[in-house]
Amino acid sequence: MHSIMRAAAFCCICALGVSACSSDLQEAAPATTTAAPTTTTTTVLEVVTTVRQVPAEELGSVGYITIGDIQYDFAFECFAAGAGDILALGVGEEPETEIVTQAVVQAFFGQPYVSVVIGNEQIIELAIDAPAELFVQSGEVRGSALRFVHSNGDVGEGESLGLGRVNVACDSFAPGLPDQYQAAS
């Protein structure tokens, strides 16, 4: 269940690899007057679920997540989830190795959630056994004295990485939540 929530947290922007059929194929087929057996082909499309690597310029907001003495900078896409709740999905680079990082900042009343995924393997998130509050004011999401852990596969549990803070300045908002996003609780 926890891995489904984590996967859903990053399942925000879905891209389908679909190839369009060329009209040249139809023109190249010979015209016949005899009936031929028909064959039906079913194609299954694989859905790729990931945070968009380059946020849309019109939704580009900036922010950072600091964990211990490391600051991760991100370009965020912000979503107005309703009733003052904000979801921010970010893309950046790990400061020392320049590995692609992704962030989820969920500032929902009673359901704060913050995670940083480094590459495809390291997951850092808020500790579930420590209180955490994210504040929203004038489109800015802030939180301090947040305890982070290096996740060991269970949401919010793992090796402690110390305290950190979050700051996301949303310049604009997309309405609602991305398709297939499930709020982390």
Per-residue pLDDT reduced to its tens digit, 75-113: 999 999 988 899 999 999 999 899 999 999 999 998 999
Task: Give the predicted TM-score (pTM) of the model.
Answer: 0.68
Whole-angstrom Cα distance, residue 95 to residue 97?
6
Q: How confident is the model at residue 129 (pLDDT cuts 50, 70, 90)?
A: confident
Q: How confident is the model at residue 68 (pLDDT cuts 50, 70, 90)?
A: very high
Q: Does domain 2-13+50-175 have CATH number 1.10.357?
A: no
Q: Which residues pair with 67 in a beta bridge?
A: 70, 164
Q: Where are the domains of the chain?
A: 2-13+50-175
Whole-angstrom Cα distance, residue 30 to residue 173?
52
Assess whether pLDDT exceeds 80 at residue 156: no
The region, left, alpha or beta by phi > 0 then psi within -120 to 50, assigned to residue 68 is left
Among 12-26, 80-94, 122-136, 169-183, which stretch is predicted with the lowest mean pLDDT?
A: 12-26
Share of the chain above pLDDT 90, in %: 50
Stretch 156-178: mean pLDDT, rounded? 91
Q: How confident is the model at residue 50 (pLDDT cuts 50, 70, 90)?
A: very low
Task: Write the pLDDT tens digit of every residue in 25-35.
Answer: 333 334 444 44
Number of neighbouring beta carbons within 10 Å of residue 39: 5
